[in-house]
Amino acid sequence: MDFLSGKHVVTVNLHSQSALMNEVRGRLRDGAGFALATLNLDHLVKLRGNPAFRKAYAAQNLVVADGNPVVWLSHLAGGRVSLVTGSDMVLPLCVVAAEQGVTVALLGSTQTALDRAAAVLEAQVEGLRIVARIAPPMGFDPEGAEAARLLEDVAASGARLCLLALGAPKQEILAARGREIAPHVGFASIGAGLDFIAGTQRRAPLWIRRLALEWLWRLAVSPARLAPRYARCFAILPSATLAALRHRRDPRNLPPA
């Protein structure tokens, strides 16, 4: 399913979590790396004004829909994309890694969160081995020399799967660089997923998520940080909805957001 961000096309090429896990399983089995991104409205907004983010997204070879608005726009346009959030991918990705006998690296967040998350994941997933826990320094630049060194540390650890918990656009930019520096490693951008597992951030209760109101929960927790972001996201919804309807009537059109 293709989406437009301004004049730029972004393709969701894996439509479900099962399809994603099958693809990751095959790549880990075959020794092939990847960069995995989770498309949401915030990404579509940032892609319009951030050339580095656009370049990084073009290097992501696996893309899923992370955000109910993206799923709804897809359905409105006649597509069949299902929700696959970065936070919900963490445990299944670790299960697949353990099944395939490959080791895992955690990169991002804080050292405390990484240590706690690693302990929880290794306790929950039989056979899982987390061989690197790397917390970037304050002011980390994903395009700088420090980022290259961290990616080299991931490669040197022997990990074949690296979970990136940095937020957009840092994690996607780092994943794109990882495809060059450590091409045998799969880089998965999972946002706050490790913080939720570690308990350093509290995720919305399941019933709120099932009502598609997790965004409202997050807004209540961090209004100053998230209110401007959500305002920009809501601003593109009317044109995105109209475009999705046009696409449904005429398959030659793309559903932009």
What is the per-residue pLDDT for 253? 55
Segments forming the whole domain that contains residue 38:
2-202
Statement: residue 251 has pLDDT above 60: no
Cα 189-193-195 angle, rounded to 5 deg: 125
Provide the domain count of the chain: 1
**Long-range contacts at 149-157 (CB < 8 A, ≥ 24 apart):** 150/107, 150/174, 151/177, 151/178, 151/181, 151/182, 152/181, 152/182, 154/105, 154/107, 154/178, 154/182, 154/185, 155/181, 155/182, 155/184, 155/185, 157/103, 157/105, 157/131, 157/132
Q: What is the Cα–Cα distance from 21 to 110, expressed in whole angstroms?
A: 27
Statement: residue 3 has pLDDT above 90: no
Q: What is the Cα–Cα distance from 84 to 12, expressed in whole angstroms?
A: 11
Task: Flag whether 216 is in a domain.
Answer: no
**Which has the higher per-residue pLDDT, 9 or 15?**
15
Task: Flag whether 225 is in a domain.
Answer: no
**181: CB partners within 8 A, 6+ apart:** 148, 151, 152, 155
Give the confidence band of 4 by pLDDT, cuts at 50, 70, 90.
low
Task: Flag whether 229 is in a domain.
Answer: no
What crossing angle do the helices spanning 41-49 and 223-249 adopt, rounded to 10°?
90
Q: What is the Cα–Cα distance from 248 to 79, expressed in whole angstroms?
A: 9
Q: What is the Cα–Cα distance from 161 to 207, expressed in whole angstroms?
A: 31
Q: What is the Cα–Cα distance from 123 to 94, expressed in whole angstroms?
A: 11
Structure confidence by residue, pLDDT tens digits, 102-126: 999 999 999 999 999 999 999 999 9
pTM > 0.85: yes
Radius of gyration of the chain (CA): 18
Task: Flag whether 53 is in a domain.
Answer: yes
Task: Flag whether 221 is in a domain.
Answer: no
CATH number at residue 108: 3.40.50.10700
**Which has the higher per-residue pLDDT, 121 or 246?**
121
**Which has the higher per-residue pLDDT, 8 or 202?**
202
Neighbours of 110 (CB within 10 A): 15
Task: Flag whether 141 is in a domain.
Answer: yes
Task: Flag whether 35 is in a domain.
Answer: yes
Task: Flag whether 25 is in a domain.
Answer: yes
Q: Residue 70: helix, strand or coil by DSSP? A: helix
